[in-house]
Amino acid sequence: MFASSSRMSFLCLKSAKQTINIERAFRISSVDFLWGKKNQPPSSDEKSDNPIDRIKKINVIHKDVIIASKQFERVNKDKESYISLIDSFKKEGRAVQRQGQVEFIYGALRCLRDFNLHKDLEVYKALMDVFPKDRMVVRNFFQEAGTYYPKQQFCALALLEEMEYNNVIPDKAMEDLVISIFGKRSRVWQKIARQVYWFSKLKNANPFPLPEHLPDDALELAKIAIRRMSLDLQAQISIFSTAKIENCIDKTWIVSSQSPAQKDLLDNLQENKTVYVYGPFRVWLRSVSISYFVLRGPPYKSNLTTYEDDDDPFDVHNLPLKVYGGKSKSEALKDSYKIHQQQEGDVLALCATGTSSRDSVLSWIRILETLNPNLCKLQCIFTLKAPVYDVSVINQSIDDDESNAERCSKL
């Protein structure tokens, strides 16, 4: 009895080690498929006593993935062509067993961004539907502990991780699809259940939310970025055109932000003081970046005493009651730094231009001089860095210049 129990425990330990080795190998392989890293077959010097022969097949599966991805390179880069390739794979003679389904899904995932479908939930559901139903459902403890159909499960996990990376939240139909393919005792179901639980909670946790679909127009993106960076609720977002400025080279648009408090700070500067234009800096709106510039005053040196909010929230002794003459918290902390007054200099204005060039920033300063007369009496120094992107001079046609000028004149 003791010998049989010890032998059983030894076999369980051995199977657990084999499962860990399989999982590690499949994890590494799935990451390599998505990022295009080629796995070389094992050399003769390496150990050949792998616990399961299926691990060796992972090293040569990359060729099949490349062949599957080439199918998507021959068609038009639109959603209809992408879905039609998936449907044609399902309707082939191997539709019952779906041989090569893992390689096909990996190859399709590699081409998602080329088709601009990496944020489309319907495409992910179509790829998940490639797996056959009821064939790989985990039904007992041993199948769950041994990672039933590990190659298919890790392929589905790679698909869900691609959704997570692109901020695509699975819906109820996707959950039902996973249950019909792998069951509720699989790792794929654990992954999608956690995604649904946490994504629904964290979806609206951002205090500065972005639109669900960002516009393609650079002007609209610049307005969103400048509005998000303007902490003052009274900040006024204005749109200007450089076409109305004399001796202007770049005919483009300017999105400027300035609040009444910033105008007061600019008006209170003494004559011949120096202000600085810094930039371009980069702000990201998901996967899109916008360059912006900052107009700062001289370094701020304050003699005011700043206070820290060190009150114990659980201390109920000597509570200041405003209705009985006590000071409120905002009044007690009124001598702290204001929003626009920073140690490196007062933030006097923000802007984003269509070309992010030095000439467009100079046009922005000329526009601010008309709105802030005291700026004409100050010295303005441009400390501009090199552009954050490569700039090349090209010969544009006259029609392009006229169309650009017409757009700027409408602003």
**Are residues 337 and 306 in contact, defined by beta-carbon separation less than 8 angstroms?**
yes
What pLDDT is recorded for position 102? 87
The DSSP bridge pattern shows strands 379-384 and 253-258 to be unpaired
**Are residues 105 and 130 in contact, defined by beta-carbon separation less than 8 angstroms?**
yes
Range of weakest confidence among 1-10, 60-69, 192-201, 357-366: 1-10
Q: CA-to-CA distance for 66 and 100, rounded, in angstroms?
A: 12
What pLDDT is recorded for position 326? 59
Q: What is the pLDDT of residues 113-130, one digit of tens each?
A: 999 999 999 999 999 999
Q: What are phi and psi of 167, to 5 degrees?
A: 60, 45
What pLDDT is recorded for position 225? 95
Q: CA-to-CA distance for 72 and 87, rounded, in angstroms?
A: 13
Residues 276-291, mean pLDDT to the nearest whole number: 92
pTM metric for this prediction:
0.66
Mean pLDDT of the chain: 77
Q: What is the pLDDT of residues 74-113, one digit of tens each?
A: 888 899 999 999 988 888 655 455 578 888 899 999 999 9
Q: What are phi and psi of 352, to 5 degrees?
A: -140, 135
**Are residues 382 and 358 in contact, defined by beta-carbon separation less than 8 angstroms?**
yes
Residue predicted with more confidence, 37 or 116? 116
Residues 360-383, mean pLDDT to the nearest whole number: 92
- Helices 2-35 and 150-165: crossing angle in degrees, nearest 10, is 40
What pLDDT is recorded for position 60? 37
What pLDDT is recorded for position 142? 87
Q: Where are the domains of the chain?
A: 10-202, 218-301+320-410
Q: CA-to-CA distance for 68 and 47, rounded, in angstroms?
A: 31
- Tokens standing for residue 224: 């969103």
Handedness of CA 317, 323, 324, 325 (dihedral sign): positive
Residue predicted with more confidence, 390 or 228? 228
Residue 349 has pLDDT above 90, yes or no: yes
Q: What are phi and psi of 38, to 5 degrees?
A: -90, 130
> Which DSSP helix (H) or strand (E) runs through 18?
helix 2-35
> Which DSSP helix (H) or strand (E) runs through 220?
helix 218-229
Q: CA-to-CA distance for 311 and 334, rounded, in angstroms?
A: 16
Q: CA-to-CA distance for 46 and 49, rounded, in angstroms?
A: 9
What pLDDT is recorded for position 392? 35
Residues 287-311, mean pLDDT to the nearest whole number: 73
Handedness of CA 344, 346, 352, 358 (dihedral sign): negative
Residue 302 has pLDDT above 60, yes or no: no
Q: In what order do the strands lie in the sheet with 347-353?
A: 236-241, 253-258, 347-353, 288-296, 274-285, 379-384
Residues 289-310, mean pLDDT to the nearest whole number: 72
Helix (H/G/I), strand (E/B), else coil: 292: strand
Q: How many residues does the chain have?
A: 411
Range of weakest confidence among 58-72, 104-118, 135-149, 219-233: 58-72
Residue 192 has pLDDT above 90, yes or no: yes
What pLDDT is recorded for position 175? 94
The DSSP symbol for 324 reads G
Q: CA-to-CA distance for 112 and 168, rounded, in angstroms?
A: 13
Residue 54 has pLDDT above 60, yes or no: no
Residues 6 or more apart in contact with residue 284 via CB below 8 angstroms:
290
